[in-house]
């Protein structure tokens, strides 16, 4: 069993009067995490899976008396895939208000449906946490750092989804399934997606441009839609945990690029599945992109769990000077350049060093990346 960092983060907040909400993409291990948290409490606990028709039926417009009867003497209640239930926020509020002291632990694959449903009813009564695919730190706790370093190429190609990491089956086939309709099923079900055929085209275009600054106009031409549609669909893809973006940092607007962003995938394997490319690194021309996507993604996952006050950017000037990742915390900066070639070392641009006086500037390569991600 791979112990998730988020379990350690959540545990201190249990039984403190707040419903715990865990969101995340499909297949990231939310159900397993919720069960492990419940078991570790040593309390009496109960689990309701909202994929089950009978659970869905009795969670729709229940009375507090009915809920209390079904919960019985349980001290902790796990409600899994809660976004399946219409008006789930009202039901959760009813449980929080009327059935005490009960710890609610709720999971949901779609931040769109779940967050909209619970935002107002549970104001002041909830804490939200997000579960990502597996992280470098979680893997070295479960196995060894030496083992994980040996598997670096596999991680760059197949990613960090739990099933992909632990399976003995064909990883490429599993990823193709995961990256199909199942991955963005929640998006296609939304009424606001009037042209579902655009989503696969947009995802493929993003996969090919990963780590690059994106042009909304170019994406629209590739996907066959206007700029506003691209903006709306990019937002949906971020809210359903497929992609994320970095904005450019600009302290000196005369020299630096403004209002620009680079797009990354939360998982390398998903990105590679979207372009059906699982060749080994020595047969690829996108290794640098895979390396940057992996490092940026892994560092942000790490910081969201352990250092949530950190903000992440890239830096670039009109003269094409660039830094891959800038981390800002309390007006202090750290800067990182990513090089797959161990013999290459990036030199920090003078303009950046003058404007930001970073506490650190580091070239991250396969020889030292573990310190960057630990």
> Which stretch of 257-261, 287-291, 316-320 has the lowest confidence by average pLDDT?
257-261
The pTM for the full model equals 0.94
Show the beta-strand stretches assigned E in the chain: 19-24, 45-49, 76-80, 103-108, 126-131, 243-248, 261-265, 311-316, 322-329, 332-338, 360-364
Are 294 and 324 within 8 A, CB to CB? Answer: no
d(CA 336, CA 25): 28
CATH number at residue 96: 3.40.50.300
> Residue 299 above 90 pLDDT?
yes
Cα–Cα distances (Å) from 253 to 161, 317, 343, 355, 371, in that order, read 39, 9, 33, 11, 33
Residue 229 lies in a domain: no
Label residue 86 by pLDDT band (50, 70, 90). confident
Question: Residue 326: beta bridge partners?
Answer: 313, 335
Are 59 and 92 within 8 A, CB to CB? Answer: no
Label residue 319 by pLDDT band (50, 70, 90). confident
Range 92-118 average pLDDT: 82
pLDDT of residue 71: 93
The answer on 148 and 64 residing in a single domain is no
Question: Residue 245: beta bridge partners?
Answer: 263
DSSP 321-349: -EEEEEEEETTEEEEEEE-SSTT--PPPP
The answer on 127 and 160 residing in a single domain is no
The answer on 88 and 155 residing in a single domain is no
The answer on 306 and 324 residing in a single domain is yes
Residue 352 lies in a domain: yes
Residues in the chain: 374
Strand ranges across the sheet with 45-49: 45-49, 76-80, 103-108, 19-24, 126-131
Show the beta-strand stretches assigned E in 188-260: 243-248
Residue 292 lies in a domain: yes
> Residue 252 above 80 pLDDT?
no
pLDDT of residue 183: 66
The answer on 153 and 40 residing in a single domain is no
Are 211 and 289 within 8 A, CB to CB? Answer: yes
d(CA 161, CA 15): 30
The answer on 324 and 297 residing in a single domain is yes
* Chosen domain end from 131, 151, 176: 131
Greatest mean pLDDT range, 127-136, 191-200, 221-230 = 127-136
pLDDT of residue 197: 83
The answer on 246 and 306 residing in a single domain is yes
Nearest 5°: the CA angle 208, 296, 179 is 45
> Residue 112 above 90 pLDDT?
no
Range 226-251 average pLDDT: 90
Residue 25 lies in a domain: yes
DSSP, res 258 = -
The answer on 266 and 292 residing in a single domain is yes
The answer on 157 and 50 residing in a single domain is no
d(CA 310, CA 258): 20
* Chosen domain end from 106, 131, 156: 131
Question: Please, what sign has the CA dihedral across residues 140, 129, 274, 326?
Answer: negative
21 three-state secondary structure: strand
> Which residue range is the domain that position 280 belongs to?
136-168+238-373
pLDDT of residue 196: 77
The answer on 345 and 276 residing in a single domain is yes
Residue 185 lies in a domain: no
Closest to 338 measured CA to CA, from 373, 374, 295: 295
Residue 177 lies in a domain: no
* Chosen domain end from 78, 105, 131: 131
The answer on 141 and 118 residing in a single domain is no
Residue 220 burial (CB count, 10 A) = 20
- Taking only the tens place, the pLDDT of each residue in 153-208 is 999 999 999 999 999 999 999 999 988 866 666 677 665 677 778 888 999 999 99
pLDDT of residue 89: 87
> Residue 124 above 60 pLDDT?
yes
Question: Please, what sign has the CA dihedral across residues 166, 169, 172, 177?
Answer: negative
Residue 175 lies in a domain: no
Label residue 113 by pLDDT band (50, 70, 90). low
Residue 213 lies in a domain: no
The answer on 96 and 47 residing in a single domain is yes
What would the two tokens of residue 75 be? 């001290």
Label residue 80 by pLDDT band (50, 70, 90). very high
126 three-state secondary structure: strand
**Counted domains in the chain:** 2
Residue 200 CB-density burial (10 A; 0-12 exposed, 13-18 middle, 19+ buried): middle
Q: Mean pLDDT score of the chain, rounded to an integer? A: 91
pLDDT of residue 30: 96
């Amino acid at each position: 069993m791979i112990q998730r960092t988020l379990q350690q983060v959540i545990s201190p907040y249990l039984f403190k009067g707040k419903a715990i909400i865990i969101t995340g993409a499909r297949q990231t291990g939310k159900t397993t995490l919720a069960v492990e948290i419940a078991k570790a409490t040593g309390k009496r606990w109960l689990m309701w899976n909202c994929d089950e028709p009978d659970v869905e039926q009795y969670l729709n417009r229940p009375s507090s008396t009915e809920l209390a009867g079904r919960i019985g003497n349980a001290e902790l209640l796990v409600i899994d895939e809660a976004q399946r239930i219409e008006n789930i926020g009202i039901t959760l509020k009813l449980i929080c208000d009327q059935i005490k002291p009960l710890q609610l632990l709720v999971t949901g694959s779609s931040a769109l449906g779940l967050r909209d449903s619970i935002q107002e009813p549970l104001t002041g009564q909830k804490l939200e946490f997000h579960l990502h695919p597996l992280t470098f730190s979680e893997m070295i706790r479960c196995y060894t750092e030496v083992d994980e370093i040996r598997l670096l190429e596999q991680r760059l190609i197949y990613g960090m989804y739990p099933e992909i990491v632990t399976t003995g089956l064909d990883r490429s086939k599993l990823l193709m399934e995961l990256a199909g309709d199942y991955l963005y099923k929640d998006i296609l079900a939304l009424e606001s997606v009037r042209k579902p055929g655009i989503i696969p085209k947009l995802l493929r275009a993003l996969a090919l441009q990963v780590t690059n600054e994106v042009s909304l106009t170019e994406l629209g031409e590739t996907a066959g839609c206007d700029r506003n549609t691209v903006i709306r669909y990019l937002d949906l893809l971020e809210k359903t945990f497929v992609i994320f973006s970095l904005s450019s940092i600009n302290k000196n607007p005369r020299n630096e690029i403004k209002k620009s962003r680079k797009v990354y995938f939360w998982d390398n394997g998903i990105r590679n599945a979207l372009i059906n490319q699982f060749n080994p690194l020595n047969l690829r021309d996108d290794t640098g992109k895979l390396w940057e996507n992996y490092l940026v993604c892994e560092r942000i996952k790490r910081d969201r769990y352990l250092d949530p006050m950190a903000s992440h950017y890239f830096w670039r000037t009109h003269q094409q000077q660039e830094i891959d990742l800038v981390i800002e915390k309390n007006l202090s900066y750290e800067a990182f350049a990513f090089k797959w070639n161990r013999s290459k070392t990036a030199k920090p641009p003078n303009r950046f060093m003058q404007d930001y006086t970073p506490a650190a500037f580091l070239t991250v390569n396969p020889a030292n990346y573990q310190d960057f991600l630990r």
